[in-house]
Copies of this chain bind each other. A is one copy, B any other.
Amino acid sequence: MPKIVDHDKRKIKIAETTWKVIIRDGLEQASVRKIANAASLSVGALRHYFSTQSELFQFSMKLVADQVKQRIARKNYDGEPLDVMKEIVSELLPVDEDRRIEMEVWLVFSTRTLVDPSLKQLSQTVYKEIRHAATLVIEGLINLQLAKDDLNKELEIERLYALVDGLALHALLHPDQLSIEKMQDTIKYHLESLCNGNG
C-alpha cells in the first residue's frame, strides 16, 4: 500500500516542520498558514492531512513520544547491562540536536497543556509512556540482580523519571550551565549508585 505509506510519511514531514516553526517562533505564533509555508504546501494541501490546527498539534506532540519509543524498541540489548540501561536513559535526554528538538517541542506542548485542555489526554499518555521507560530500567536492574537489595522499586521509578526530566529541563533551558557531558555523568552516577558494590 505505497499510497498510505506516502500519506503517513508526508504527515511526519509536516509534523517535523511544525516542530521547527514552534522552536523558531513559539507555539502561539505557529499558525497553520506559517507551517504550510514552511512545508512548501498550500493551506488547502496541509488541511488534506490535518483538518484542524489542534489535530496537527496533537500529531506533532505524539510524534515525539513515538520516536523515543521506537528508538528504545530498536536498541541492541547485547552489551553490558548497565551500559544498555544508560543508553535507554540517554534516549530520554537532549544529548544531541535531534533529541534536543524533540524535547523542546515536548516542553512547549507540555506547558501549553496548563491552559489548553485539548492536549491534556495526549500529554498524560506521553507521561505514562516515558514513565514506562524508567520502569524498564529499574526493573531491568532488579531482575538482573545488579540492584541493591533494599531499593524501593516504586520510589526508584519516580526518582529516575524525575531526575531524567529535571536534567532534560535544565540542559534545554540552560545549556551553558549543564553540559551534555555533565548530564550523562549525573545519570551514570545515579544508576551506579543503585547497584551493588557502589556504595
Contacts and interface: CB of A to CB of B under 8 A. Distances in A.
A127 B158 CA distance: 23
Interface stretch (A12-20, A62-70, A166-174): A166-174
Interface residues of A, number: 48
Interface of A is mostly: helix
A113 interface: yes
Given A164-B166, A169-B169, 15 more contacts: A23-B115, A26-B115, A104-B114, A108-B111, A108-B114, A113-B173, A114-B172, A123-B173, A158-B186, A159-B163, A162-B166, A162-B169, A162-B170, A165-B166, A193-B193
Given A111-B107, A150-B199, A199-B150, A166 B161 contact: yes
A76 interface: no
